Structure 1
Amino acid sequence: MGVISTNEWMRKDFNRPIQMMERLESTFNDTLDAEMIYHHLLKHGMYSPNQKTKLTWEDLQENDVWEKTQSLFTAYKKLWGGPDVPIYIFPLMSTGIWNKKVEMKSGLAFKDKLFLFYGKGIVEKEIEALLIHEYHHVCRLHHLKKDQKEFTLLDTMIMEGLAERTVGKYLGTKYLANWTKLYQEDKLREYWRKHLKEKHTIKRTDPLHDVLLLGTKGYPYMLGYCSGYYLVKNFEKLSVKRSFIIQSEEFLSK
């Protein structure tokens, strides 16, 4: 499988993304229709058709991102002994004129597939950082014998932390996500006691899960992500392959 030629899909249907998503209905076991799939992907960085995202798409073609991603995927799949999954690449959503927080990339991982969203001008190391992070999720989901609906907030936090720790292992701190550097450790310890200690067992289906993970509604920004990275960052002697199978609760016992 590996990288799917979504480039060819967009040649035909760039301005009709919902029709394009009909090709994906079978990968969701027909539980979601094309419109539902598109709206789900939109929340995670998928483009809306406009002049700006059309320019991004043209830039990605000139930059050979499909070939570069396939080459990286082949290497990491072999290195980690990971599963062979389809990878769907699309342009990243465009940011509004007042939005100063310019992100170059986003992604969405499932146990059996991967979506990568690239911004205009993305460099190869950023592509690699995103692939490492998202493919780490795929590998962990593949190894953990746990339905995603049963995931707790702690499970999600640890998954994000481990994926980003792995980016640091291969590419160094320069390519870590900005959210890894938001807070000092003493502040994160305080946030854990105040906001997460009593709530880390809530299920993914609980509306509070995403609120705490992303730090919305008055909670510290990216609270769950930052705390997850803090919990795993200094964990001793953790190989990448062990990071696919280690239980989330082990990070609370240190």
Structure 2
Amino acid sequence: MSVIQTDKWIKELLEECEEKRSSDFYDSQLKKIGEPISKHFPSSTPEEVLYHMQQNGLFQPGEWRKIKTLLESMREKEIWKTIEGEFLKLKKQWKGPEIPIYVFPITRGYDKRQEKNRNGLAIKGAVFLFLSATHSENELKAILAHEYHHVCRMTTQGLSEEDLRFDELLVLEGTAEQAVKRMYGEEFMAPWTSVFKENEMKPYWHKYLSQVLDSKDHEKNMKLMYGNKFGRPPKWMGYNAAYHLVNAFCRKKGLRKMEDLFYVSTEEIIRESTFVTPRS
């Protein structure tokens, strides 16, 4: 299992697009990507799965001509090999589950204004990474660790991505970035961890987040996580709060092993975090 050779899928997709010489390549992308990965989403159609992937960073069908060069660059940098090696290391260190890892070129990853973009998506049974060819080795390792940490914690805690409460989502994101921080250094953490300092975020926690911790409304929860680019709540609010929530807990408890965080309940992390409660 491990890292799926999706570069071969995409190469076949591009060859098929060349032969079609048509303006509509959606069907090819659905067949080569949407259908194979839809097995991980049994309650969704392949069309819904493909749309979900595109929303998370998968390149659009109309980009296929530019994706060809990006794919070649990604293969030259041996991105699939790097991801494979780090996954095997993390799986052993964290005693995590064996799952498939899918790597795809990210939309507009060939654009110099966008090429540092990267994104990931974790479900209990798989990880999907959307990348370009310009990431450093540690950047690749960091995004994999973040997403695989989600899988390990969801597995250990018996969580389901379809049924997550808002507090569980916050802790998932916060513990994943704690792993990145400890393994690769602060410079490889997600940008949202530093948009607000801990004391700056606390008022937003009390105003927007603390009252809705038991919410299972995925759409509303994600709006709180992303915030508002042009107003209130501020951009990246939930993600930033998630980082400070878990970071304050780890600072108080002095946890040394990242694996320990897999077993600490969401309720304990929130109850014991000095981000939520004042220092005694």
* TM-score above 0.5: yes
**Is the Cα contact below 8 Å between 1:104 and 1:120 reproduced in 2?**
no
Tell me which residue corresponds to 1:134: 147
> Do structure 1's residue 109 and structure 2's residue 127 form an aligned pair?
no
* Residue 46 of structure 2: aligned partner: 34
| Structure-to-structure mapping, 1:21-100, within 5 angstroms | 21-29=34-42, 31-49=43-61, 50=63, 51-94=65-108
Contact 2:106 2:117 in 1 (8 A): yes
Who wins on radius of gyration, i.e. which is larger? 2
Counterpart code for 1:66: W
Q: 1:152 aligns with which of 160, 165, 168?
A: 165
Is 2:230 the partner of 1:212? no
Partner SS state of residue 202, structure 1: coil
In structure 2, list runs of 5 or more residues that go unmatched: 18-27, 273-280
Instruction: Find the counterpart in structure 1 of residue 247 from structure 2.
Output: 233
* Structure with more relative contact order (C-alpha pairs < 8 Å, separation 6 or more): 1
Question: Is the contact between residue 70 and residue 110 of structure 2 (CA under 8 Å) also seen in structure 1?
Answer: no
Equivalent-residue separation in structure 2 for 1:81 and 1:144 (angstroms): 14
CA distance in 1, matches of 2:47, 2:215: 29
Give the superposition deviation at 1:210: 1.1
C-alpha distance in structure 2 between counterparts of 1:152 and 1:28, whole Å = 20
Alpha-carbon distance in structure 2 between the residues aligned to 1:60 and 1:168 = 25
**Contact 1:68–1:124 (8 Å) recurs in 2:** yes
Quote the Cα distance in structure 2 between the aligned partners of 1:206 and 1:36.
16
Structure 1 gaps, min length 5 = none
- In proportion to residue count, which structure has more helix? 2
Q: Secondary structure of 1:88's partner?
A: strand
1:140 partner amino acid = R
CA distance, structure 2, for counterparts of residue 32 and residue 237 of structure 1:
42
Among candidates 187, 208, 212, match of residue 195 of structure 1? 208
Deviations 1:127-168 (A, max 9, x none): 100111010001011111233333111111110011011000
Q: Indicate conservation of the 8 Å contact 2:177/2:189, yes or no.
A: yes
The sequence identity of aligned pairs, in percent, is 29
- Give, in angstroms, the shift of residue 100 of structure 1: 5.5
For structure 1, which segment, 143-152 or 185-194, has the greater mean C-alpha deviation from structure 2 after superposition? Answer: 143-152
Shift of 1:253: 1.7
CA distance in 1, matches of 2:262, 2:66: 38
2:177 corresponds to: 164
The CA deviation string for residues 19-78 of structure 1, in whole angstroms up to 9 with x for no partner, is 11211232323x322221110011111112424333221210111111111111111111
Amino acid at match of 2:238: G
Q: 1:182 to 1:200 in 2, by over 3 A?
A: same
Are 1:85 and 1:113, in contact at CA under 8 Å, matched by a contact in 2? yes
Determine the structure 1 residue equivalent to 2:269: 251
